[in-house]
Amino acid sequence: MAREISYKAAISEAHVQSMEMDPNVFIMGVGAADPTGIFGTTVEASKKFGPARVFDTPLSEATLTGAGIGAALCGMKPVLIHARNDFLLLTMDQIVNHAAKWNYMAGGQFKVPFLIRAIVGRGWGQAAQHSQSLQALFAHIPGLQVIMPTFPYDAKGLILSSLQSNHATICIEHRWLYEKSGPVPQEPYTIPMGEGNIVKKGKDVTVIAISHMVLEALTAAETCSKENIDIEIIDPRCLRPLDESLILESVKKTGRLVIADTSWKSCGISAEIAALASEKAFEFLKAPIIRITLPDAPTPCSSVLENAYYPNHKNIAEAAKSLVLGKPAKNDNDIFSHKIEREKEFSGPF
């Protein structure tokens, strides 16, 4: 029987093993050397390698990212951890104009093997400035790799892969996944960048689910199976590069597509996947594509509004049923329609 460990333990193990294999790997970030070790993901590395290779930093995001890029250009392999991906907005120039572009601008002579981990997810009343899921911003940029591992196996394999890569990688982790467990080999292994995963095979509807929405999709699949609707679940795992062939193969097989993302609908990853399906598999579609995303409004603070704001397995199941049975899907996020219209009166369209 395969060994099972938690998502956070898999990340921790990936860090320790990468540092054992390569003395150029080091970890920095606010709380990296703290006793809690950023949800426990850096505790073991800190104990084993000490402050020379795992160290706490000041709150200066742009400076730290610049230091990481400089270290990577000099042959080191830095890991920079942000407790929330919202803080990456303070360092966009460094990430977009430097980390992503030096390899190209130098004709391949400079490499930037730089892993930036950032955490997303709901809870704690984190609200509009600390709950954003910004993967689409980074996936838009050539030169960046963007990964969003769902299972412990994926987390370890993709982190090890990113630290063997010569490109800057943004790893976005959902905080609700840290305590989830699954089978993970003890020895080091890698998952190729751009290789998705068929989480569950099915024949009636394809659900492309991202990060925590994969778990919601699995619950939705159980619900739909009671009505003889067979859902296929695809986890891209990597948003840039995206496993286009895996997605298209599934869509061509089922003819129906639901996309479940952890972020907003407008200009998001769900739009990119929907465009891919419409451009390259349109003739196979039996019904319109449905996207399950956050409503186009900032994240609320109260738990009551959070429950209305975030989609879940019920939304995915409703969408899948509507595609197979030909009935319109209900929108459980209609509570925000009035809010958005009122905002438009004062500030124009979002």
User: Hey, which residues are catalytic here?
Assistant: 61, 130
| Extended beta strands in the chain, E state | 4-6, 25-29, 54-55, 77-82, 115-120, 144-147, 168-174, 181-183, 197-200, 205-209, 231-235, 238-240, 257-264, 290-294
Q: Both tokens of residue 160? A: 């090890």
Q: Which residues pair with 205 in a beta bridge?
A: 231
* Side-chain half-sphere exposure of 2, counting CA atoms within 13 A: 11
Q: Both tokens of residue 127? A: 């609200």
SS3 string, 196-229, reads: CEEEECCCCEEEEECCCHHHHHHHHHHHHHCCCC
Instruction: Check: CB of residue 291 under 8 Å from CB of residue 261.
Output: yes
Cα angle at 275 between 256 and 293, to 5 degrees? 70
288-310 burial by CB neighbour count: b if 16+ within 10 A, else e? ebbbbbbbbbbbbeeeebbeebb
**Considering all CA atoms of the chain, what is the largest pairwise distance in Å, rounded to the nearest integer?**
61
* Number of residues written out for the chain: 350
38-68 burial by CB neighbour count: b if 16+ within 10 A, else e? bbbbbbbbbeebeeebbeebeeebeebbbbb
Neighbouring C-beta atoms of residue 283, cutoff 10 Å: 7
Q: Both tokens of residue 335? A: 């509570």
